[in-house]
Structure 1
Amino acid sequence: MPGVTIEQLREIVSDVFDDEDVEISEETTAHDVEGWDSLNHIRFMVTVEQRFNVRFTSREVESLQNVGDLLRAINSKSQT
């Protein structure tokens, strides 16, 4: 089964932050996306968990530094 792609995460960022033109890369952080505050971070993570049927602990979420870390974490959890 193919892993989650950066484009799939971009679609979620676009939906959660209501920005159809948002561009993200593996290096993108919360500081790079307009409106990415603590509330929207929770909305984003809940959406990711629901969309890809994964669950993250608070510690795992806190360890994520950028979109690339999240992508690798999702794909790692999806394979178990």
Structure 2
Amino acid sequence: MMTREQIFETLNEVFRDVFDDVGIQVDESTTSKDIEEWDSLEHINLLAAVEQEFGVKFNMGQVVSMKNVGEMADIIMSQIAH
């Protein structure tokens, strides 16, 4: 079972890969406004990469309601807990 801290460590790696920026550091409150390259197209790439990395699947409701990286982590935690 991953801890929330481990999820964020892994999310940081995924974000750095997707946006090709080793300086990215995401936290609970990070949103697309905080990362210049994070547009709607990159959002799709990001979600696909996160799903692949964690072996989870986001449903449309989750995708639409996700307001920040903390909420993304919540969804990942709830899915890998089962």
Task: Report TM bin, short chain.
Answer: over 0.9
How many matched pairs? Answer: 80
Q: Which has the higher helix share?
A: 2
One-letter code aligned to 1:23: Q
CA distance in 2, matches of 1:69, 1:59: 12
Provide the C-alpha distance between the structure 2 equivalents of 1:64 and 1:2, rounded to a whole number of angstroms. Answer: 20
Distance in 2 separating the partners of 1:2 and 1:65: 22
> Which residues of structure 2 form unaligned runs of 5+?
none
Shift of 1:25: 1.1
Q: SS state of the match for residue 12, structure 1?
A: helix
**TM-score relative to the length of structure 1:** 0.93
Instruction: Write out per-residue CA displacement over residues 1-38 of structure 1, whole angstroms, 9 at most, x where no aligned residue.
Output: 22342111011110000101112111000110110011
Correspondent of 2:40 among 38, 41, 45: 38
Which amino acid is 1:6 matched to? F
Q: Structure 1: any 5+ residue segments left out of the alignment?
A: none
1:1-80 matches, within 5 Å, as 1-3=1-3, 4-80=6-82
* Structure 1 Cα separation of the partners of residues 12 and 19 of structure 2: 10
User: TM-score w.r.t. structure 2 length?
Assistant: 0.91
SS at structure 2 position matched to 1:5 = helix
Please provide the CA RMSD for this pair: 1.0
Structure 1 window deviating more from structure 2 (14-23 vs 3-12): it is 3-12
